[in-house]
Chain A
Amino acid sequence: MTLNKQQLDQLYRYCYVLTTDCDNAYDLLQTAVQKYLEKPIRQSAATLPYIRKIIRNQFIDDARQAKCIAFEPIENTETIALDTMTLDNILINEELANIVWSVLDAAERETMYLCSIEGYTAAEISAETNVPRGTVLSRIYRIRHKVMQVFDQQGISMGRNKVGEE
């Protein structure tokens, strides 16, 4: 199956979410597409998740080679979010969204991407990334917590449906 522009862009964004760098994202995408072409799968519906898995594994391998931790372990006792909808309650402007994005780690950005762009539920993210659902919910909680910290630093009060309002 040949990947079209829309699919390639979609995968490129996923690479960008993990690497936060355009050049590294393109390198990662190129490697993943090449690996996919060498060993394609027959079910076209599962193509994108399959390539995302290749990208994820490649990213982890690269991080290991560079001796940096790509995905920090999460303690099981950590507080977890109730569901992915909790992130949708936060109102934010574009400038603050960029600041928040910069303080998230790779695993949190990936969770954010799958949640916001792909519209996955916690269970679906858990299935795709092969991590327990509790871990996914912990990551969502941490994302929300980091957003609150950014708001505190910016001197913005946070409340339901009023977050980021001056």
Chain B
Amino acid sequence: MKKTFNHSVKEYLESVSLNEKQFEQLMVMQERYVYKPIRRRRKKRLPWYRIAGFGSLLLLGIIVITMTDFLNVIDNNSHHYGHVSSSVIQRIADEAATNHLKMKPLEVESLEISKVQGYFSNLDFEPYSAQPLASNVQIALVGGRYCSIQGSKAVQLRYKDRQGDYVTLFETAYSTVLFEKLPNIDRGETPVVTYTKGIKVSMWVENGIVLISTEKFR
């Protein structure tokens, strides 16, 4: 019997159907979803006391972190500069380095420290025969002259090393107003060392006198 192609296809496909077992399985699957609908998570509201608790903890955390940072900054400053602010250190170093570089003529020239010290009679402190913190220990005194550091009357003693480079040692009376709390090597503290204008500047307090040593940076 001849039929149209569409009709034949329809007839052929209509003979295809699910068997009882397959149908049952699909019905069971559907029932499972009907009777056990997908649980949707409800957004739980946190009680006010929990929100307040979390807020307090967060605030406390921020305060602790801020305070720790603040204390670290203070601690870092004290560690490096012996309770001297970095701006004071920089100011002193700049002035000492400038004086070192200018190489103004010496007012007294002698290889003996006693003769040079004897020249500085117009001071409010007794010049101290300290050794500059020079990298090269083979240095010899050349002479000295009056100068000022941070507006305070000071002396500068000029030394020369074997390579012909000069090392300058500045001495002035110690004042906490001008120099804050520079490291005191009498208490075992380490001198502050900084670099400016190509010059290595070391500063410390020894026997109540501020000593600033400058030399060419090697």
Q: Does A81 contact B (CB under 8 A)?
A: no
Instruction: Give the contacting residue for B16; candidates A8, A13, A33, A147; CB below 8 A.
Output: A13
The binding surface of chain A is classed by DSSP as helix
Asked whether, in the complex, the Cβ of B6 is within 8 Å of the Cβ of A88, the reply is: yes
Instruction: Give the contacting residue for B11; candidates A38, A87, A94, A164; CB below 8 A.
Output: A94
Asked whether, in the complex, the Cβ of B26 is within 8 Å of the Cβ of A29, the reply is: yes
Q: Does B22 contact A (CB under 8 A)?
A: yes
Q: Does B18 contact A (CB under 8 A)?
A: yes
How many chain B residues touch A (CB < 8 A): the figure is 27
Asked whether, in the complex, the Cβ of A117 is within 8 Å of the Cβ of B23, the reply is: no
Q: Does B2 contact A (CB under 8 A)?
A: yes
Asked whether, in the complex, the Cβ of B2 is within 8 Å of the Cβ of A3, the reply is: no
Q: Does B8 contact A (CB under 8 A)?
A: yes
Asked whether, in the complex, the Cβ of A8 is within 8 Å of the Cβ of B13, the reply is: no
Chain A residue nearest to B22 in the complex (CB): A26
Which residues, 1 to 22 on B, are CB-close (under 8 Å) to A? 1-14, 16-18, 22
Asked whether, in the complex, the Cβ of A37 is within 8 Å of the Cβ of B29, the reply is: yes
Asked if A92 meets B34 with Cβ closer than 8 Å, knowing A8-B18, A12-B16, the reply is no
CA distance A116 to B10 in the complex (A): 6
Chain A residue contacts of B46, Cβ below 8 A:
none
CA distance A81 to B159 in the complex (A): 109
CA distance A92 to B9 in the complex (A): 10
Total number of residue pairs linking A and B with CB closer than 8 Å: 94
Chain A residue contacts of B207, Cβ below 8 A:
none
Chain B residue nearest to A90 in the complex (CB): B5
How many chain A residues touch B (CB < 8 A): the figure is 39
Instruction: Give the contacting residue for A101; candidates B1, B12, B18; CB below 8 A.
Output: B12
CA distance A160 to B21 in the complex (A): 44
Q: Does B110 contact A (CB under 8 A)?
A: no
CA distance A34 to B13 in the complex (A): 24
Asked whether, in the complex, the Cβ of B23 is within 8 Å of the Cβ of A5, the reply is: yes
Q: Does B30 contact A (CB under 8 A)?
A: yes
CA distance A9 to B15 in the complex (A): 10
Asked whether, in the complex, the Cβ of B8 is within 8 Å of the Cβ of A12, the reply is: no
Asked if A16 meets B13 with Cβ closer than 8 Å, knowing A88-B5, A92-B2, the reply is yes
Binding site for B on A (CB under 8 A): 2-3, 5, 8-9, 12-13, 16-17, 22, 25-26, 29-30, 33-34, 37-38, 87-94, 97-98, 100-101, 112-113, 115-117, 147, 163-165
Query: Can you list the 10 inter-chain pairs with the closest CB atoms, starting with the nearest?
Result: A97-B8, A90-B5, A37-B33, A116-B9, A116-B6, A91-B2, A9-B17, A116-B10, A92-B5, A88-B6
Binding site for A on B (CB under 8 A): 1-14, 16-18, 22-23, 25-26, 29-31, 33-34, 38
- Taking A9-B18, A92-B4, A116-B9 as given, write out 14 further A-B residue pairs in contact, using a Cβ cutoff of 8 Å, ordered by the A residue number: A3-B26, A3-B30, A34-B29, A89-B4, A91-B3, A93-B2, A94-B11, A94-B12, A97-B5, A97-B9, A101-B9, A117-B10, A147-B5, A164-B2
20 contacts between A and B (CB under 8 A): A9-B17, A9-B18, A13-B16, A13-B17, A29-B18, A33-B29, A37-B30, A92-B4, A93-B1, A93-B3, A94-B3, A94-B8, A97-B3, A97-B8, A98-B12, A101-B9, A101-B12, A115-B6, A116-B9, A165-B2
